[in-house]
Structure formats: C-alpha cells, structure tokens
C-alpha cells in the first residue's frame, strides 16, 4: 500500500511522527464531527440573538463555541426558508467545513455529486429522498475559495417546547450540507 510505504520513508527521514498521525486520526474520527454543527444549528433555532449574530459573522460566533480551525477559517451560515433552500458543493475538489461537520462523506467527494449538484440540484435531492415545493428556489453554493458554508436547516414543526439538546438530535449532517432536511420529532 502506497501510504504505508510513504509513511515508512518519511518516518525514517525524521519528517513525520507516527504518534502525531494517530493524534490527527483520533481528532477527526472521534472529536470533530457533525455534532459540532448540530450544536450551532440547535442554538440558532433556540436563541434569536445567536441566530442574528451567526448570520452576520459566523466565523466569530462559532469560534466562541470552540469550533474554529483547519478548513473552517472563514465561515458563512446560510439559512433555509420556505422561499430558498441552500445546498453546498465543491465542484473543483472537496472543500467542506471540517470544524463543524468533520471529514466530508464519500458522496460529497464523488464525481456524481460534484458534477451534478450545480446543474440538477433537484434531481440530486431526489437521490436523498428530498422533494422541494415549486415555490422554493434552490441556491447552490460552490465552495471555490477558502470560505466554508454551513446550511441552517428549517426548524421542524412541532418542536416548540424542545430544548437545545433535544433539538440537536434532529439536525443531521446532510441537513447542514443541504442534501437533507432536519428530522421530525
């Protein structure tokens, strides 16, 4: 396997530390993932002042929650409404907000998603079982720079009395990319 061979050479040359590799892997396998983003969304649903600040300057707001870092240096939050559904892609590579959502899923990096999301987002949404009303426009964000986008899905009906922790469970990873909707309670 090529990666094993590279790791061996680089370790022998004194350029990488296998323990550091373990630490990087543990970070993205166990510590940083879509529950961070779900926390932000649930807070935005629950706290109007937080929502306003998030839409104004997402980088500052998520940094305060500790969600700043590699591939999340410049964050913008975009909010789904009855009028607009936002969806995020990176047609040129695989740009994705790591501190909030972790490592991108396989389909996000696939040729099919990268090729189709900009031309036929509604057919892509159908692959995820999502159908939008004709009255909703789709806005696809192609991440061509170092700005990373977080979709704030619509808060489901019937969640009025729920607290932040309970709301978090309704926020799926796909709903924050825009290929899914938040779960119904």
Pick out residues in 33-52 that bind another protein (CB under 8 A): 33-34
| Residue 157 main-chain phi, psi, to 5 deg | -65, 150
- For residues 166 and 183, give the distance between their C-alpha atoms in angstroms, rounded to a whole number: 11
Q: Which of 69, 79, 156, 185 binds another protein (CB under 8 A)?
A: 69
Q: Which of 53, 65, 109, 156 binds another protein (CB under 8 A)?
A: 109
- The question of whether 110 is a catalytic residue gets the answer no
* CA dihedral of residues 24, 29, 32, 33 (deg, nearest 10): 150
Q: Is 94 a catalytic residue?
A: yes
Q: How many residues bind another protein (CB under 8 A)?
A: 80
Quick one: 94 or 154, whose CB is closer to another protein?
94
Please state, in angstroms and as integers, the Cα–Cα distance from residue 134 to each residue in 83, 137, 174, 182, following that order: 10, 7, 21, 19
**Considering 46, 63, 95, 143, which one is annotated as catalytic?**
95
Query: Cα(99)–Cα(84) distance, rounded to whole angstroms?
Result: 25
Residue 114 is a binding residue for another protein (CB under 8 A): yes
Catalytic site includes residue 90: yes
Residues pairing with 113 in the sheet: none
Window contacting another protein (CB under 8 A); options: 40-48, 50-58, 142-150, 156-164: 142-150
Task: Indicate which residue of 93, 110, 143, 175 is catalytic.
Answer: 93
């Amino acid at each position: 396997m090529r990666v094993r061979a590279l790791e061996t050479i680089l370790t022998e040359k004194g350029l990488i530390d296998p323990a550091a590799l373990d630490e990087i892997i543990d970070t993205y396998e166990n510590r940083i993932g879509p529950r961070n983003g779900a926390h932000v969304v649930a807070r935005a649903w629950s706290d109007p002042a937080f929502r306003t600040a998030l839409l104004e300057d997402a980088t500052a707001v998520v940094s305060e929650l500790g969600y700043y870092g590699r591939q999340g240096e410049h964050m913008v939050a975009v909010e789904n409404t009855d009028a607009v559904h936002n969806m995020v892609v990176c047609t040129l590579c695989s740009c994705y907000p790591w501190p909030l959502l972790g490592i991108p899923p396989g389909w996000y990096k696939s040729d099919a998603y990268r090729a189709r999301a900009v031309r036929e987002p509604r057919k892509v949404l159908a692959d995820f079982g999502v159908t939008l009303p004709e009255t909703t426009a789709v806005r696809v964000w192609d991440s061509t720079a170092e700005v990373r986008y977080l979709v704030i899905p619509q808060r489901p009906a019937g969640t009025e009395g729920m607290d932040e922790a309970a709301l978090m469970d309704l926020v799926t990873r796909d709903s924050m990319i825009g290929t899914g909707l938040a779960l119904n309670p």
